[in-house]
Amino acid sequence: MSARPLFPRRGYILLISGILIGFLLFAGISLIFSGFGQRPTSTVKPESIEFEFLYTSEKQGWIERVTPGFEQWFEDEFDISVKVRLTVTGTHKTVNLILLGGAKPTVWSPASSIWIPYLNSKWMREGHEDVIAKDWVPLATSPVVIAGWSSSLSKYNISSFDDLYQLSERNVDFKYGHPDPLLSNGGAMVVVLEIAEALQEKPDEITLEDLKKPEVVEYVKTIETHSVAYGESTGFFGSWAAENGPKAIDLFGVYENVVIDNSLKASKKWEDRIVAVYPEKGTLLCDHPYVILDAEWVSEWQRFAASQYLIYLLQPDVQKIAQEYGLRPANPSAPLDEELFSEENGVQLKIPVPIFNPPSGEVLEAIFVEWVKARNPGA
């Protein structure tokens, strides 16, 4: 299987536009694409702008650290005070907040772009004339991996989710886990990859008819019988494993940055390292898309300020800070930290497997239904 482009879907082309315009002509010139960064037509310049950024916890440390710098930069540049109201919650909950009106953000950033077709499909189903999330730009990336203790990975020779299924078929006892897909993007992505391997298909090739096949649910159920916990976040598994050791859990599906955060801590305490396995058939990318919503509650000035915030977050210096939190830079102008993304931290510098496109919104919604049938009720 040949590797897919890192940013294969519509919206990712904005990343290049953002770099060319935002970094070559950063002072005073914004993104000119699909309304991003265009100066408001209103001649009345406001004294202040406030907008909500609804995003997920995986990037919370980075965003909270760099946002005050943006607010100061914006005021210096445009003589307008700006306040970014940061709202942090789980990806699935962000979707529900938008759909139910519990939040009216200017910018939405789920953990992965797999949720964009899901939100759009549910938004249109409610009777809206057009989608709410038209274009997006990745802020940072982290692939889904199978994390495990070095000793367990060597013992079981794990290279894919299918290996977990084969182990279970041979009645090998092992402890497994991943976040709850109904609560966590990470959990949803893991289950998508399990189903893709069950079907021997790419995630974007999965159909609603595929999910009705009893052997698919049985395949996932066979893996899930070894689940010892379904946490609310991917970070839970890394810290839990590092704290409780190899006897607590052998293997777990998480983001790469979780391995970076916990590999050395685990090694010091247990003399065994937590290591990332990149599923050999391919993986999904947690790409933290930045979406300026096409919604009636977003004003021209909010859109303008949000577009400047995007440019700021993509600056190489700001992207470098994201790496301190285990996130790979989305801006290729920002060099990858070779000391951080290293075997010493349980990961590889380059992602060695294909990057898949996500499934459709309808398929993702159906996967949630099927997973409830396959989950381990005792976990």
Predicted local confidence at residue 23, as pLDDT = 39
In whole angstroms, give the CA distance from residue 4 to residue 205: 14
**Within this chain, do residues 319 and 239 fall inside the same structural domain, yes or no?**
no
Helix (H, G, I), strand (E, B) or coil at 310: helix
**Within this chain, do residues 199 and 214 fall inside the same structural domain, yes or no?**
yes
Q: Is there a contact between 19 and 314 (Cβ–Cβ < 8 Å)?
A: yes
Establish if 334 belongs to a structural domain: no
In whole angstroms, give the CA distance from residue 86 to residue 66: 12
**Within this chain, do residues 168 and 279 fall inside the same structural domain, yes or no?**
yes
**Within this chain, do residues 209 and 318 fall inside the same structural domain, yes or no?**
no
**Within this chain, do residues 311 and 184 fall inside the same structural domain, yes or no?**
no
Q: Is there a contact between 84 and 337 (Cβ–Cβ < 8 Å)?
A: no
**Within this chain, do residues 226 and 246 fall inside the same structural domain, yes or no?**
yes
In whole angstroms, give the CA distance from residue 69 to residue 66: 5
**Within this chain, do residues 153 and 275 fall inside the same structural domain, yes or no?**
yes
Domain that holds residue 22: 13-140+287-329
The reported pTM is: 0.85
In whole angstroms, give the CA distance from residue 358 to residue 283: 10
Establish if 7 belongs to a structural domain: no
CA 94 to chain centre: 13
Establish if 91 belongs to a structural domain: yes
Predicted local confidence at residue 22, as pLDDT = 39
**Within this chain, do residues 148 and 245 fall inside the same structural domain, yes or no?**
yes
Helix (H, G, I), strand (E, B) or coil at 33: strand
Please list the alpha-helical segments (H only) found in the chain.
13-24, 60-78, 91-100, 115-125, 150-156, 161-169, 185-199, 208-211, 214-224, 234-244, 256-270, 300-313, 316-323, 361-374
**Within this chain, do residues 307 and 235 fall inside the same structural domain, yes or no?**
no
Number of folded domains in the chain?
A: 2
CATH of the domain at 129: 3.40.190.10
Backbone angles phi, psi at 41, to 5 degrees: -75, -20
Going by C-alpha positions, the residue among 213, 183, 187 that lies closest to residue 200 is: 213
**Within this chain, do residues 114 and 200 fall inside the same structural domain, yes or no?**
no
In whole angstroms, give the CA distance from residue 370 to residue 104: 31
Predicted local confidence at residue 10, as pLDDT = 36
pLDDT in tens, the chain (379 residues): 333 333 333 343 344 344 333 333 333 334 433 344 456 766 689 999 999 999 998 899 999 999 999 999 999 999 999 999 999 998 989 999 999 999 999 999 999 999 999 999 999 999 999 999 999 999 999 999 999 999 999 899 999 999 999 999 999 999 999 999 998 899 999 999 999 999 999 999 999 999 999 999 999 999 999 999 998 888 888 899 999 999 999 999 999 999 999 999 999 999 999 999 999 999 999 999 999 999 999 999 999 999 999 999 999 999 999 999 999 999 999 999 999 999 999 999 999 999 999 999 899 999 999 999 999 999 8
In whole angstroms, give the CA distance from residue 211 to residue 330: 33
Establish if 68 belongs to a structural domain: yes
**Within this chain, do residues 47 and 170 fall inside the same structural domain, yes or no?**
no
How far is CA 267 from each of CA 138, 241, 249, 252, 264, rounded to the nearest angstrom? 32, 11, 15, 17, 5
User: If you write DSSP's letter for every residue of 249-274 in order, what string do you get?
Assistant: -SEEEEEHHHHHHHHHHHHHHHS--E
**Within this chain, do residues 268 and 349 fall inside the same structural domain, yes or no?**
yes
